[in-house]
Structure 1
Amino acid sequence: MRARLRNTFRSLSVRNFRLFAAGQVLSVSGTWMMVVAQDWLVLSLTGDSGTALGAVTAAQFAPMLLLTLYGGRLADRYDKRRLLMGCNLVSGGCAIALAALDAGGAVRLWHVFLFALCLGTVNAVEVPTRMSFVSEMVGPDLLPNASALSALYFNVARVAGPALAGLIIAAAGTGAVMALNAVSYLAVVAGLWKMRTGDLLPVTRDDSARVTDGLRHLASRPDLVVPMALVLFVGLFGLNFQLTLPLLAKTVFHADAASFGLLTTAFAAGSLLAALATTARRARPSARTVTGAALGFGVLETVAGWAPTYLTAAVLLAGTGFASLYFAQAANHRIQLGSDPRFRGRVLAVYTLILQGSTPLGALLIGWISAHLGARSGLYAGGLLSLAATLGVLLADRTRARLRATRPTPRREKESAQR
């Protein structure tokens, strides 16, 4: 048992990664508390408008479409630790400003939109920088485990954050949750500040690094393009739970803030189990693992839309959460472990752009469907479209492989000419 635990948490033997993980647990907990508070605030300000909630979600992720590739370029050019410190300080300042407006009773919907845009802009730099910084702390051998542990603490926070947020909202309002989120960013800054920079693995930085170089590297690697395509379609249609879960809780099951938090917690608990399952991974996952996880996710999300009771929904959402995280981790590991370290920041920026930057379009589409056909239709559409897209990517990949196999090579052409 002890050996299994040591194997599961082996990346925590690295001091810098321990500091990083501790700060992230607190910060991500605050972020998920903020997600619940922000969604609840928007619904309260707009009379439960799914369209408004989808628009705010789109505003938060829209900067990813425009700035994430540039953020990956910054990650490959500059000191990632300092970049992360700056990003967290800016995010904390935005959060405390919105908390003050909410606590003073002066908050308006446009304030929430402005905060969402600010946070999305910072995340366009922070996310690819944070993901690529992990390899500098632990090295290539521990990278799969460290990546899985990152997903683990992310989902521990996602379990604890929404449940705690629901209780705090009921007791003190959404402003108190936002204030706690602002303070939580300081935990990340403190952990980064205390790191031993001499223990970080040296990485060659190119002051002339260009976005196009990373795109060219990615385009030359079909084994990276296929999981990227799957991430695009599943992220676009299926991963809109910031929108679908609050609508399901409030308009279908007529839940209060605490019950909504618990429904979100059930989804996150499934993701937590998937994160634990992937800590044992030591090598790059196969393409079949990635596509199988995508198909399983599409099936489970579709079935979750059917859930007749609150309890059934919680159970099915836990399964959906497991499948969503297992797919995301499999795709992440296949892409990250297969990319050249010189381009890793830019490749992960593309991954982030696709996974999170596609959310604005998906949120608007799923929000429109939910507003016109009901909250359940958002889950139905997300699951079925994810299934169809995955099958389409599989068919395209097999067709390309078949064409490659039948394409004449120079040797075959020479033998044919001799005949």
Structure 2
Amino acid sequence: MVPFLVLGIFGGFLADKLNRKKLIVVTQFLNLAAATVMSLLFIYGSVEYWYAYIAIIIPGLGWSLDMPSRRSLIMDMMGSRGITNGVALDSVGMHVSKMVGPALAGAMIAIVGVGGSYVMLTLFMTVGCLMITKVSQSKSRIDVANDRDDRVRVSQIYANLTEGFKYAFTNQTISAVIVITILMNLLLFPYMQMVTVVSKEILNVGPLLMGVLMASDGLGALTGSIGIASQSRMKYHGRIYLYGSLLSLVALFLFSNSSWYFLSLPLLLFLGIGTSGFGTMQSTIVLLVSKAELRGRVLGVVTIAIGAGPIGSLIIGAISEWIGASYALMINSVIGFLLVAIAGLLMPSIREKIIPFVGAETGNQPTRSGLSTKV
């Protein structure tokens, strides 16, 4: 996630200035190249431990460039009416892969070893890359990527990046999304590395039950995402985003106080449901209220906010060393709940009805809060 912090805005800049589909294809083939190299190194027995860092960093770079383009492309294809369902379905795919992936990886390592697993990964990624090339792109909605009159020189890059930051932080709705995203990645999501510690030290369970516990929040997130994807029309996206964040923080607080395994399971399930509202609406709100020519850069700013996660991991790790994992989670959840609630109160547009940015062609321009001025 560190590349998110460093390269997020550049990924958004590229999403605004280049063909988004082609950019996604390039980043996915970059990941495929990294997996292929690792497969060959394993086959020829030339693997060194430090190669693992390369295998982690390169996909991280790809993801930091991919996220703004991928979510913007969903908006290009689905439009404002279908964006919520599109992003929710994208989230469903991510949650399924997170749940199935570790189990499948473990099974493959047991059967064919690490080298064979990388070969299988390369094959899966090849299929994925080929499928991406088949994605149809609605040219009627691509009003930025194909604008040849807006060629960007090196001298213009800084101005373009600054424009993205300025637009994001002068729009109250987008500002609320960014602030809450930072808070959640600093104070909530580092819980994932603490679950193993709590399982061993507090709940006293073995690897199997610990694996089930770690999968329960993924099941909750999957359930929540499917529920959102099944909705035909939503108006108060910000409320789902805000209240989902608060629900997950409450569930984390209760989990940190639980010493009973069968109570901890549903608590993490509810935590996952809350994070589905947070994660799905995070991009949806930004895409709905942003100008088309700035969507990528604004999503790039959100990507930078997501990059706060590693900092949160360092902080919770230090606190847990000092007072224990459960107390560290408790402190994070209380502080997170208070700060997210305050953000929701100070930036009320996040709780109001979200009206999509229509554009200059209809004379329907958003106000500072990101809401339409046309009644």
Same-fold status (TM-score > 0.5): yes
Change (3 A) 1:292 1:272: same
Change (3 A) 1:89 1:354: same
Partner of 1:397: 347
* Deviation of the 1:118 alpha carbon: 2.0
Partner of 1:307: helix, strand, or coil?
coil
* Deviation of the 1:300 alpha carbon: 0.4
Tell me whether 1:327 sits opposite 2:278 in the alignment. yes
1:157 to 97, 101, 121: 97
Tell me whether 1:230 sits opposite 2:180 in the alignment. yes
8 A Cα contact 1:92 1:185, kept in partner: yes
Partner of 2:144: 204
Partner of 1:186: 126
Counterpart code for 2:216: A
* Deviation of the 1:102 alpha carbon: 6.5
Partner of 2:215: 265
Counterpart code for 2:222: L
Change (3 A) 1:192 1:112: same
Mapped to 1, the partners of 2:333 and 2:249 lie a distance apart of 4
% identical equivalent positions: 22
Mapped to 2, the partners of 1:200 and 1:377 lie a distance apart of 53
* Deviation of the 1:322 alpha carbon: 0.8
2:66 to 126, 149, 157: 126
Partner of 1:221: 171
Partner of 2:189: helix, strand, or coil?
coil
Change (3 A) 1:199 1:247: farther
Compute the TM-score of the two structures, normalised by the length of structure 1.
0.72
Deviates more, 1:218-227 or 1:72-81: 218-227
Counterpart code for 1:277: G
Gaps in structure 1 of 5+ consecutive residues: 1-60, 399-419
1:370 to 316, 320, 323: 320
Mapped to 1, the partners of 2:119 and 2:260 lie a distance apart of 34
Partner of 1:67: 7
Tell me whether 1:337 sits opposite 2:288 in the alignment. yes
Mapped to 2, the partners of 1:345 and 1:394 lie a distance apart of 24
Counterpart code for 1:71: G
Tell me whether 1:312 sits opposite 2:263 in the alignment. yes
Partner of 2:28: 88
Mapped to 2, the partners of 1:254 and 1:287 lie a distance apart of 38
Change (3 A) 1:259 1:111: farther
* Deviation of the 1:270 alpha carbon: 0.2
Partner of 2:86: 146
Compute the TM-score of the two structures, normalised by the length of structure 2.
0.79
Mapped to 2, the partners of 1:176 and 1:251 lie a distance apart of 35
Tell me whether 1:386 sits opposite 2:341 in the alignment. no
Partner of 1:302: 253
Change (3 A) 1:215 1:295: same
Partner of 2:228: 278
Mapped to 1, the partners of 2:284 and 2:8 lie a distance apart of 19
* Deviation of the 1:312 alpha carbon: 3.1
- 1:372-406 CA-partner distances (Å, limit 9, x unpaired): 433334432432232122133235437xxxxxxxx
Partner of 2:60: helix, strand, or coil?
helix
Partner of 1:282: helix, strand, or coil?
coil
Mapped to 2, the partners of 1:348 and 1:332 lie a distance apart of 7
Change (3 A) 1:101 1:266: farther
Deviates more, 1:339-348 or 1:172-181: 172-181
Partner of 2:236: helix, strand, or coil?
coil
Partner of 2:190: 240
* Deviation of the 1:244 alpha carbon: 2.4
Q: How does 1:249-260 map to 2 (within 5 A)?
A: 249=199, 253=204, 255-256=206-207, 259-260=209-210
* Deviation of the 1:174 alpha carbon: 4.9
Partner of 1:76: 16
Partner of 1:361: 311
8 A Cα contact 1:137 1:200, kept in partner: no
Partner of 1:161: helix, strand, or coil?
helix
Counterpart code for 1:390: V
- 1:84-139 CA-partner distances (Å, limit 9, x unpaired): 1111111122234445667859442x333333222222211111111111122222
Partner of 1:19: none
Tell me whether 1:352 sits opposite 2:296 in the alignment. no
Mapped to 2, the partners of 1:230 and 1:372 lie a distance apart of 27
Gaps in structure 2 of 5+ consecutive residues: 349-375
Mapped to 1, the partners of 2:258 and 2:113 lie a distance apart of 30
Partner of 1:127: helix, strand, or coil?
helix
